[in-house]
Structure 1
Amino acid sequence: MNLPARSLDRRIRDTLDRLERDVDAWFATADPAGLPYLMPLSFLWDGQALLISTARTNPTARFLEATGKVRVALGPTRDVVLIDAELREVIPAAELPAEVGDAFAAKSGFDPREQRGAYPYYRVVPRQIQAWREVNELAERDLMLDGRWLNEPDTLR
């Protein structure tokens, strides 16, 4: 493909756009012993965190609750966004504000509030975000470290 490398500002804007418009991503968790588990899930981005929902009995939920850590991958391999995030909050479906649940359902086409059994929502907050398209962006792939954008996105100024 050999596209020119994007600036940090451009990659941050592209990443925020992807978080707003993408519906699904790969969520990788691991049990406390390190056994990995990978699952595609729908998400809702609120500008600071990703909101996901899955059955509480699912390994993703169990491992996320046990370790508090998740890695998220968005996009194809030649335009990837990797997010290392931490569990900030587990919200029972009955306690989620209706407008947030409605927004999640509208974006994903799936309403966890209508599922049988426990389908809590998990609010995960990015600690590190990387994005790159080609090898020419690998050296400067970090967009966020320790929960702070390396350059304040235009949308947050």
Structure 2
Amino acid sequence: MSATGTARGVGLAPPRDLAQRKADVLGKLETERYAWLATGGESGAHLVPLGCVWDGARLVMATRKQHVTVRNLRRRAECRVALGDPTDVVLIDGTVEIIAHRDLPPDAPSVLGDLPVNPTRVPGCVYLFLTPRRVLAWRHRGEIPGRTVMTHGRWVV
């Protein structure tokens, strides 16, 4: 870091307040189409990129039902999802409900059709509905102290 407050020539913006961070997280959830999903299993941590959509309350992904991700989630439904890049990080901790296409309720969100791997088109796939419990968001080290925007399933602001 130089004396001018820059790292690699990029100036550090003032930290965003929590309301702005929440708005930015919601915007990212509505526009991101891929996320990194981390689960834990008998063989250790497992990290995989999956297509995703936000249904307004949950992050929805899909994968093949025999995939190690699904096996891990059946044993322990907790996971972490990462969105963004190192200059705009969003981490989501939560629990996942695994639902087969045939078990979707009639009022299932229409955004599910936007999933690139979709159980309606790809046999043997299941939906993964992630309900956020904790959300962290930061763009640089100046935002690390206030990075928690959701805790215990409730937005901080």
TM-score of the aligned structures, taking structure 2 as reference length = 0.86
Q: Is 2:119 aligned against 1:112?
A: yes
Number of positions where the alignment pairs a residue of Structure 1 with one of Structure 2: 147
CA-to-partner distance for each residue in 1:84-129, whole Å, 9 max, x for gaps?
0112x322112335774752233x344222213x211121111100
Distance across 1 between alignment mates of 2:128 and 2:72: 12
**CA drift at 1:134:** 0.5
Amino acid at match of 1:122: L
Amino acid at match of 2:15: A
Q: Residue in 2 aligned with 1:19?
A: 29
Amino acid at match of 1:59: V
Higher helix share: 1
Distance across 2 between alignment mates of 1:45 and 1:22: 9
Which one of 118, 136, 153 corresponds to residue 147 of structure 1?
A: 153
- Whether the 8 Å contact between 1:94 and 1:113 is mirrored in structure 2 is no
Amino acid at match of 1:93: H
Q: Runs of 4+ in structure 1 displaced over 4 angstroms?
A: 97-102
- Once the two structures are aligned, what percentage of the paired residues are identical? 35
Which one of 66, 79, 83 corresponds to residue 74 of structure 1?
A: 83
- Whether the 8 Å contact between 2:55 and 2:109 is mirrored in structure 1 is no
Quick one: structure 1 residues 34 and 13, their matched pair in 2 at CA, closer, same or farther if it must change by over 3 Å? farther
Q: Residue in 2 aligned with 1:50?
A: 59
Q: Is 2:44 aligned against 1:35?
A: yes
Q: Is 2:77 aligned against 1:103?
A: no
TM-score of the aligned structures, taking structure 1 as reference length = 0.86
- Whether the 8 Å contact between 1:85 and 1:124 is mirrored in structure 2 is yes
Which runs of no fewer than 5 residues in structure 1 stay unpaired? Answer: 152-157
Which one of 7, 14, 19 corresponds to residue 4 of structure 1?
A: 14
Amino acid at match of 1:112: P
Higher strand share: 2
Q: CA RMSD in A?
A: 1.7
Which runs of no fewer than 5 residues in structure 2 stay unpaired? Answer: 1-9
Quick one: structure 1 residues 53 and 83, their matched pair in 2 at CA, closer, same or farther if it must change by over 3 Å? same
